[in-house]
């Protein structure tokens, strides 16, 4: 299974996202969506699992939870924006969700893929919306295959 991982779009859905996510089976959005219509646009590509972020309005919060836990291809996946941790880190989100095998978060706009505790893959896809903090807009791609650790990479838009 191939996952498209995106966060911090802040209402801006770049055309490059459609190219990068062209062959994904599922999309995870880590919050600060900006407009619920953006999720509808992404659903043209694949089913979307999304959480709200600290800048999302009541319309998004009414339709998206703060944290989602689901199973994808045999992996326990946790998605959260991460703002409830202040400035989240892989170790902080892992401590909060110790049962998650894959944890996706946003908020910091800083892309990373990190292995925590030798078994948990933590990904922050960075910001796919407006570039901030001197980093280019990015998304993530994660490959899941039962019995082997997830493979993940950051893709610059």
Residues 34/12, Cβ–Cβ less than 8 Å:
yes
- pLDDT classification of 134: cutoffs 50, 70, 90: confident
Q: What is the pLDDT of residue 37?
A: 97
The residue segments making up the domain with residue 31 are 2-156
CA 66/CA 83 separation, integer angstroms: 10
CA 20/CA 4 separation, integer angstroms: 8
Does the pLDDT at position 141 exceed 80?
yes
How many domains does the chain fold into?
1
CA 71/CA 79 separation, integer angstroms: 11
CA 54/CA 75 separation, integer angstroms: 27
- pLDDT classification of 147: cutoffs 50, 70, 90: confident
Does the pLDDT at position 44 exceed 80?
yes
What is the domain-level CATH number for residue 103? 3.60.21.10
């Amino acid at each position: 299974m191939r996952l498209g991982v995106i966060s911090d779009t802040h209402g801006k859905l770049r055309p490059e996202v459609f190219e990068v996510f062209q062959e994904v089976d599922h999309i995870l959005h880590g919050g600060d969506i900006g407009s619920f219509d953006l999720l509808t646009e992404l659903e043209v590509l694949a089913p979307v699992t999304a959480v709200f972020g600290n800048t999302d309005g009541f319309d998004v919060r009414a339709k998206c939870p703060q944290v989602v836990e689901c199973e994808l291809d045999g992996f326990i996946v946790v998605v959260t924006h991460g703002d409830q941790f202040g400035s989240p880190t892989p170790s902080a989100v892992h401590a909060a969700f110790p049962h998650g095998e894959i944890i996706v978060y946003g908020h910091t706009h800083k892309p990373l893929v990190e292995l925590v505790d030798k078994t948990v893959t933590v990904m922050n896809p960075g910001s796919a919306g407006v570039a901030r903090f001197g980093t280019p807009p990015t998304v993530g791609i994660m490959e899941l295959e039962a019995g082997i650790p997830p493979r993940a990479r950051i893709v610059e838009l």
